Amino acid sequence: MAAGQPFPIQFHGLSEGVAQARLKAEGYNELPRSDKRTPLLIFVEVIREPMLTLLLASGIIYLLLGDMKDAIILLALAMMSILITVVQEARTERVLEALRDLTSPRALVIREGERKRIAGREVVRGDLVVLGEGDRVPADARLLAAHDLQADESLLTGESVPVRKVASDNFNPDQVLSPGGDGLPLVFSGSLVVRGAGIAEAIATGARSEIGKIGQSLSTVETEPPRLQVQTRQIVQWFALVGGVVSILTVLLYGFSRGAWLDALLAGIALGMSMLPEEFPVVLTVFMAMGAWRISRARVLTRRAAAIETLGSATVLCTDKTGTLTENRMSIAELRLKNGKIFRPVHGLGSEIPKDFINLAKFGRLASAPDPVDPMDRAFHLLGRSQVNGPEWKLARAYGLRPGLLAMSQAWQPIEGGKEFIVAAKGAPEAIADICHLSAGDRTILTSTLDAMAAEGLRVLGVARASFAGKALPVSQKDFAFKFLGLVGIADPIRASVPRAVSECLTAGIRVIMITGDYPVTAKAIARQAGLNAQDVILGEDLKKMDAEGLALRVRTATVFARIMPEQKLRIVGALKENGEVVAMTGDGVNDAPSLKAAHIGVAMGGRGTDVAREASSIVLLDDDFGSIVKTVRLGRRIYDNLRKAMGFIIAVHVPIAGLALLPLLFGMPIVFGPMHIAFLEMVIDPACSLVFEAETEEDDVMSRPPRAPDELLFSRSMVGWSLVQGTFAFALVAFIFIAASNRGMPEDEVRALTFFSLVLTIVSLIFVNRTFSASPVTALRRPNTALAWVLLAVILMLALTLFWPLAKSLFRFGPLHADDLALTIGAGILVLVFLEFLKPMWPKGLRS
């Protein structure tokens, strides 16, 4: 029966006046939207990041002190980082807005006895909604009339198999009925009609619907702040305090000891510039923005850039089944004949069907709708389409499912001549056995076969055929003489990329947990195909009986959760977080949204996913590919590794800079560096730590080591200690050159040039030392890094300018350097590299802890 076909009962519906009054009183039939993230709002969010705030503040301070060059450099870097982040996140929001517009449904309603098509948002409580195949249900509604109606409620329940709906005159409005399960007299907003037709009265719209209640519950879920953000905020405060105190003490020391307060102020500024951690915010912001750009090329959008790094530290990945691990489409997985022969098509499409199985495939298709919406009907059509067409037939009559007979039949008549009808039937195996009048022995064999197929997680249908030569087709399908052809096993196939992705997660020490609303047998079958241990399964009914302590204990070992309700997903995520896990949650349905928001990292499917799920998440997979999650984990770990390398380099390089700024003050020697020299050094350091280290490829073991501990500090004692060792050795070597040259009576401008060149080349050596945690220098050199090549070229050119261009030479107050002086500076750089590379493998606890 088509959607437009009249039902025996005539319906009048609401009047336009009543409908408009209810629309005004109760509001539009849509979910409350969070405030749109405009570029201005994103800009405000970005500049509130503590590290970027410090960068802007540092630039403003230097601007107020009159240090225009440094101020311009800092502010330019800040604005560049802000621009990258705002453009990236604004692009993400535009894509999400486009996805949102595609999901706005229209509805066919009856008002004042007339059918009219209106926007889904204008449906009001009491409206009579006409439903047909392919329609998206616009509101929660009770069925007043239904003909063979089935609905896909997977966005609400996570179950991929459509459920059968029935009309009921005895519906109690106070009765609480949830989506899922056959035989309910309700249809729910957001579900898809895949078979049949019906007329339903809207009983809940907008936020009052089941989908709306889930959306509203998101407001009570707190989003977990990125741990890196919390740590960096503390580091910023500490460095700002130390840098400020040391700068003030320097001014006072110099002023009281020498009496030259202007020189004291310049020395204090130089030392403050050498100690202020302006590189930290540059590094953090650029790394996150560049990470978002890199992963976007793999069709992954990041709504919060910091989430990429957090995903790299995930210890548990909770995933939905339908549409995430599986393709969310039904496919023929197995054909079984009555004699026990088995055929398993390859992916259910384009397989060469053996001759013995052609009739089974052919009549399964003839028993399906000619233009299918139902996913199981589509599966039959896709199976060997070119091999089972046969002669041309026209549909003469369709017999739908009935509560007493869960089978459907279709009678076909040849288009050209011939009076004999052929009849194809499919349905529940027990129903097909009944209409085929199978013997007790055959039924026993059928039952054991069913059990074996069900154990594999298959949805099993029986298929039968009959012929009819009469003039008038019988009223009931039971009146045909059906012959049993065999059984068909249907499944939602697992995505091809999933087993490998799961294997990589397990190798990387990330537990993968499947949480689904589907039945345990199906869940276990998919888990086994994905490569998960499917022995430890927890059902929703069992979970209800657990207290918080018991659940926290069970989630330590459980791998599969089946028949789980949306609120239970939230409990599972909460229990994992209580155990100290860093939780990533994937999903696409409305039922996933609360847990997506509650997890440390919410990963939504962008293609099939709902608006609610996308807005609750921090990462969106545009291609719905589970394998993309592993790419993001890999990138997250690479970002964190490279971030630690850059931060370690920053700490190391500031030791000799600050030491050489402070040394002359302590020993009464001429000041070697001023603000100009420090600004030049920053021009080397900033690109090195924000571009060179960001572009470093991942370590060889990036996906074969366990996730870092959730409480691991970015600036661990081991890493800070190693950085101080690097910086102290570089400082000692350059200080020795400075003191020795001064004691030999070398002119002050030549001493300054020699010391400066030695320091720059040792800084270049520190870049190479920090490029890798464990690989040898030779291996590191083989890794491509275009940014490093450009930085090295820029350093050589700038040093040449300061040495040979008279104007630059006078600005830096440099004297001439001879060949032996240059050889000494190069030797200093080589000595730093060789000594630290020799020491690196012996460093206790390694460099990652």
Residues 95-142 pLDDT 10s:
545 444 444 567 899 999 889 999 888 999 999 999 988 788 989 999
- Weakest mean pLDDT among 133-137, 296-300, 641-645: 296-300
Q: In Å, what is the CA distance from 214 to each residue of 211, 573, 603? A: 5, 16, 17
Mean pLDDT of the chain: 79
Confidence label for 275 from pLDDT (cuts 50, 70 and 90): low
CB count within 10 Å of CB 92 equals 23
Using an 8 Å Cβ cutoff, are 315 and 710 in contact?
yes
Confidence label for 641 from pLDDT (cuts 50, 70 and 90): confident
pLDDT of residue 838: 86
> How far is residue 273's CA from residue 252's CA, in Å, rounded to a whole number?
17
834/265: higher pLDDT: 834
What is the bridge-based pairing of β-strands 407-414 and 393-399? antiparallel
Using an 8 Å Cβ cutoff, are 620 and 301 in contact?
yes
Closest alpha carbon to 495 in 706, 326, 317: 326
| DSSP state letter for 716 | -
User: Residue 597, SS3?
Assistant: helix
pLDDT of residue 435: 93
Confidence label for 180 from pLDDT (cuts 50, 70 and 90): confident
Identify any residues that bridge with 17 across adjacent strands, giving them in sequence order: none
Where do we find the tokens 């010391």?
Answer: 755
> How far is residue 305's CA from residue 416's CA, in Å, rounded to a whole number?
64
Instruction: Check pLDDT > 50 for residue 2.
Output: no
Q: In Å, what is the CA distance from 131 to each residue of 108, 134, 153, 198, 552? A: 7, 9, 15, 5, 44
pLDDT of residue 607: 63
- Weakest mean pLDDT among 141-155, 219-233, 424-438, 609-623: 219-233
User: Residue 221, SS3?
Assistant: coil
Using an 8 Å Cβ cutoff, are 109 and 13 in contact?
yes
Where do we find the tokens 């030549």?
Answer: 750
Closest alpha carbon to 759 in 780, 778, 735: 735
Q: In Å, what is the CA distance from 809 to each residue of 755, 792, 798, 800, 816? A: 14, 20, 11, 10, 9
**Residue 398 half-sphere exposure toward CB, CA atoms < 13 A:** 15
- Weakest mean pLDDT among 216-225, 529-538, 672-681, 823-832: 216-225
Q: In Å, what is the CA distance from 498 to each residue of 13, 290, 552, 562? A: 49, 27, 27, 19
| Amino acid at the residue 337 | L
Residues 6 or more apart whose Cβ sits within 8 Å of residue 319: 325, 512, 513, 514, 515, 585, 586, 587, 626
Using an 8 Å Cβ cutoff, are 647 and 236 in contact?
no
Q: At what angle do helices 819-839 and 717-743 cross, to 10 degrees?
A: 160
Confidence label for 237 from pLDDT (cuts 50, 70 and 90): low
- Weakest mean pLDDT among 41-45, 463-467, 704-708, 718-722: 41-45
- State mean pLDDT over 336-347: 85
User: Residue 179, SS3?
Assistant: coil
Instruction: Check pLDDT > 60 for residue 668.
Output: yes
Closest alpha carbon to 619 in 292, 843, 351, 336: 292
